[in-house]
């Protein structure tokens, strides 16, 4: 069953129409675009349809807010209101209608402002009730510039506790980042919520709900109407403690009590609350209540169009249907999960957008440079950072963007889709995540996860390969566009495959790299663990390497490879505890946890190499060491050999020896010929560690360049292409010491 608090419900015909009716009933003025209610209504259905489409295709942008100043009654001061355009008010109201029931479940009984069925009169009656019960000492409190001081991060933290739909959060983020135009001035808020936006009363109440809960937890009698509140106590000492407690809670919310307007009093001396004078047992409506102009009094506001009469102050008595208050804080997109490691982005909206896309410009204009904020038509998209896919690159070298960024879709029932310039991950019609397509270079889909036709078409056009694998990592196929561009390279590759000496030389190089790097891994662990058996096996590899150089046939090369592999895995088995049940390499199926990890890792590595081979224009099925057979990317099998030990084996050993993965993370084979099955938690951990390894920096031994492992693979693929085309004399594998 769909959640009732999603963008799907926001954009229904019924909800948008009801939102329009509410905006029209409020009879507000035009916003910065000068579009009146009548203008919007003249093409109502097309206007609503356009608004819906802009949200669906993520092209919606809020207009700047129009700042107007309304004089306070019986005061020379003014109160600023920030008016959204009609279209923005409709959409904000539509979101508010959907979120209100969700937020209402969290709100407390002591809160009376901007809530359906609650009013000033109810708050006054509650004061009288408590007074009659003996609560005669009062903390009469007022928060300093509450609406202007709301902390954006604190507010967003509370919103995210309740709202899971990323599209709704994205809309709120856009509204929070809106520009305010105040005469010749144009600026963004860095704190506070502008009074005048339909969604603001709801967000303001959510912000102070933390105060309500804290007071009730302390068994305090709190009565709150927006930022005006009372705490009623039986004794003066209790009131003093309540005042100190309240100040502490507000400080945690980045708010302060107004020194001149906050005091401890009792009913004998009297006080005023919500326009009512409380003196002893009397409650008298104040002669000069702290209220904003009514509709009749706005006639004197010459600088505001008549239609602005309904843009009332939030402190005016109103139910939720009439409330027009604020557009909250500037939305701060988290760049921690969408940044290039080591690159410091300026704290600007434009920079955040580049951060999400993973792009590092050489220059960013200053936020408050001479050009000022971007014009309305040029406003950058305010992006909301989403949780990265399990493959999010970590540990990349400080001066490099992550290479070949991989999106892993692991969960059964997940659907990979495409909206605008983003991939989406859905489950039961609920969007779980959005990933900018510019951040994805290849996709791996496991098990019963699915992909939409739109996403598939986009990937084919963008040359993003889609690998389809079983839940345990067994390859089923690849969705990849066929390109005829590298036909000349293919011709050279086929010719080289028919040259026995070329194939033999290349095969020797590939296996030389593999055996050397296996030896490197054994030597590292023999030093770290003090195991002579590993060191002895590593030394024996020297003999095999010398014999490899004398091999005269491909079969002889393969024989030396097999001998080295058996020795290598036998040596590793001596290092592992018996509960791993590892005695050597077994495949198809893997029958123990270590073999399961190795097979899974080799599969992921294989298709990373495959992507680089295809990107370079080589034919992945025409190899030189491995025999050509239908459906087998033999060239990829050739190239993967030198990287198996230093990437996959290193990750597996790290996880196993440090017990970050244990045998309990696996289901052992349930009979002969059955495979060992990895639990989902181990699978996700392994992918994260493999990604970390792929992005780890290393000095490439031949070029001397500081690269990550993926770029090393790419370097070797380009090197092989140059050898095939006779632009370089011999293939040199990547060998580590």
Q: What would the two tokens of residue 430 be?
A: 């609920």
What distance separates the 2 farthest-apart alpha carbons in the chain?
Answer: 110
Distance CA 496, CA 477 (A): 27
Instruction: Report the distance separating Cα 293 and Cα 582, nearest Å.
Output: 81
What's 29's DSSP letter? Answer: P
Distance between CA atoms of residues 348 and 329, nearest Å: 14
Both tokens assigned to 471: 């839940």
DSSP 392-436: ---S--TTS--SS-EEEE-STT-EEEEETTEEEEEETTEEEEEEE
Which helix (H) or strand (E) segment holds residue 245: the answer is helix 236-252
The Cα–Cα gap between 142 and 161 comes to 27
SS3 47: helix
DSSP state of 183: T
Distance CA 119, CA 225 (A): 9
Task: Return d(Cα 648, Cα 582) in angstroms, integer.
Answer: 16
Q: Strand order of the sheet with strand 185-188?
A: 78-83, 65-71, 179-182, 185-188
Which tokens is 74 given?
């019986």
The residue behind tokens 């632009």 is 727
Cβ pair 541, 564 in contact under 8 A? yes
Whole-angstrom Cα distance, residue 303 to residue 715?
A: 67
Rounded Cα–Cα distance for residues 138 and 718 (Å): 78
What does DSSP assign to residue 109? T
C-beta separation of 171 from 60 below 8 A:
yes
Tokens of residue 328, six digits: 């909250």
Cis status of the peptide bond prior to 366, with omega within 30 of 0: no
304's torsion region: left (phi>0), alpha (psi -120 to 50) or beta? beta
Angstrom distance (rounded) from CA 114 to CA 147: 14
* Distance, CA of 52 to CA of 48 (rounded, Å): 6
Question: How would you write 56-77 as a 3-class SS string?
Answer: HCCCCCCCCEEEEEEECCCCCC
DSSP-assigned letters across all residues of 130-178: HHHTT--EEEEEEBTTHHHH--HHHHHHHHHHH---HHHHHHHHHHHT-
Determine the 3-state secondary structure of 231 from DSSP: strand
What CA–CA distance (Å, rounded) separates 40 from 196? 19
What gap in Å lies between CA 620 and CA 611, rounded to an integer?
Answer: 9
Helix, strand, coil percent values for the chain (each to nearest 5) = 45, 15, 40
- And the tokens for 586? 């077994």
Alpha carbon 547 to its chain centroid, in Å, reads: 53
Question: What whole-number distance in Å separates Cα of residue 31 and Cα of residue 245?
Answer: 42
Check the annotation: does 366 bind a ligand.
no
- Which residues does 21 contact at the CB level (< 8 Å), separation at least 6? none
Sequence-separated (6 or more) residues with CB below 8 Å from residue 120: 112, 225, 274, 275, 276, 317
Say whether 421 counts as a known binding-site residue: no
Is 419 labelled as part of a ligand binding site? no
What 3-state class would DSSP assign to 707? strand
Contact 716, 735 (CB under 8 A): no
> Where is the binding site for Mn(2+), in residues?
561, 626, 641
Binding positions are 561, 626, 641
């Amino acid at each position: 069953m769909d959640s009732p608090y999603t963008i799907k419900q926001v954009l229904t015909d019924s909800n948008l129409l009801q939102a329009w009716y509410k905006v029209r009933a409020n009879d507000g003025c035009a916003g910065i675009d000068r579009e009146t209610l009548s203008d919007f209504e003249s093409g109502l259905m097309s206007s609503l349809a356009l608004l819906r489409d802009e949200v669906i295709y993520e092209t919606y942008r809020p207009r700047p807010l129009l700042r107007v100043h309304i004089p306070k009654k019986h005061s020379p001061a003014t109160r600023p209101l920030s008016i959204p355009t009609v279209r923005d008010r409709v959409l904000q109201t539509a979101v508010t209608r959907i979120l209100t029931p969700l937020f209402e479940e969290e709100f407390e009984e002591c809160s009376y402002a901007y809530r359906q069925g609650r009013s000033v009169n109810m708050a006054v009656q509650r004061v009288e009730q408590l007074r009659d019960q003996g609560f005669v000492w009062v903390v009469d409190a007022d928060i300093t510039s509450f609406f202007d001081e709301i902390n954006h991060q604190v507010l967003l933290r509370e919103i995210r506790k309740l709202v899971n739909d990323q599209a709704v959060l994205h809309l709120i983020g856009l509204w929070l980042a809106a520009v305010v135009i105040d005469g010749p001035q144009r600026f963004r808020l860095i704190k506070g919520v502008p009074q005048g936006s339909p969604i603001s009363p709801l967000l303001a109440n959510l912000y102070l709900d933390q105060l309500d809960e804290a007071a009730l937890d302390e068994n305090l009698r709190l009565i709150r109407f927006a930022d005006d509140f009372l705490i009623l106590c039986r004794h003066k000492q209790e009131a003093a403690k309540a005042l100190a407690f309240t100040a502490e809670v507000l400080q945690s919310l980045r708010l302060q009590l107004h020194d001149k307007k906050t005091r401890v009093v009792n009913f004998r001396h009297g006080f005023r609350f919500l326009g009512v004078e409380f003196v002893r047992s009397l409650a008298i409506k104040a002669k000069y209540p702290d209220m904003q102009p009514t509709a009749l009094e706005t006639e004197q506001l010459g600088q505001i169009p008549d239609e602005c009469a309904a843009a009332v102050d939030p402190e005016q008595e109103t139910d939720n249907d009439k409330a027009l208050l604020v557009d909250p804080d500037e939305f701060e997109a988290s760049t921690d999960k969408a940044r290039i490691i080591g690159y410091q982005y300026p704290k600007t909206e434009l920079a955040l957008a580049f951060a999400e896309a993973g792009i590092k410009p050489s220059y960013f204009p200053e936020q408050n440079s001479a050009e000022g904020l971007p014009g309305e038509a040029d406003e950058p998209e305010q992006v909301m950072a989403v949780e990265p896919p399990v493959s999010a690159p970590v540990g990349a070298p400080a001066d490099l963007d992550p290479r070949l960024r991989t999106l892993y879709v692991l969960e059964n029932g997940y659907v990979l889709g495409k909206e605008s310039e983003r991939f989406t991950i859905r489950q039961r019609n609920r969007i779980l995540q959005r990933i900018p397509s510019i951040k994805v270079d290849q996709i791996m889909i496991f098990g019963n996860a699915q992909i939409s036709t739109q996403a598939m078409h986009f990937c084919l056009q963008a040359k993003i390969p889609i690998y389809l694998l079983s839940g345990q990592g067994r390859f089923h196929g690849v969705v990849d566009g066929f390109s005829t561009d590298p036909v000349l390279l293919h011709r050279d590759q086929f010719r080289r495959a028919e040259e026995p000496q070329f194939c033999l030389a290349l095969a020797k190089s590939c296996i030389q790299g593999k055996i050397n790097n296996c030896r490197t891994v054994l030597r590292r662990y023999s030093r770290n663990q003090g195991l002579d058996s590993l060191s002895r096996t590593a030394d024996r590899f020297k003999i095999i390497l010398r014999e490899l150089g004398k091999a005269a046939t491909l079969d002889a090369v393969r024989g030396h490879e097999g001998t080295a592999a058996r020795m290598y895995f036998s040596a590793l088995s001596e290092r592992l505890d018996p509960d791993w049940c590892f005695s050597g390499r077994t495949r198809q199926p893997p029958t123990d946890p270590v073999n399961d990890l190795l097979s899974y890792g080799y599969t992921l590595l294989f298709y990373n190499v495959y992507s680089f081979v295809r990107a370079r224009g080589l034919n992945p099925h025409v190899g030189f060491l491995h025999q050509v057979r239908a459906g087998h990317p033999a060239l990829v099998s050739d190239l993967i050999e030198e990287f198996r030990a230093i990437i996959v084996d290193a990750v597996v050993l790290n996880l196993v020896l440090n017990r970050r993965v244990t045998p309990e993370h696996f289901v052992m084979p349930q009979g002969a010929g059955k495979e060992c099955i990895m639990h989902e938690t181990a699978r996700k951990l392994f992918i994260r560690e493999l990604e970390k390894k792929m992005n780890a920096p290393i000095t490439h031994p031949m070029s001397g360049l500081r690269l990550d492992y993926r770029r090393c693979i790419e370097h070797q693929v380009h090197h092989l292409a140059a050898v095939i085309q006779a632009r370089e004399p011999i293939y040199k594998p990547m060998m580590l010491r």
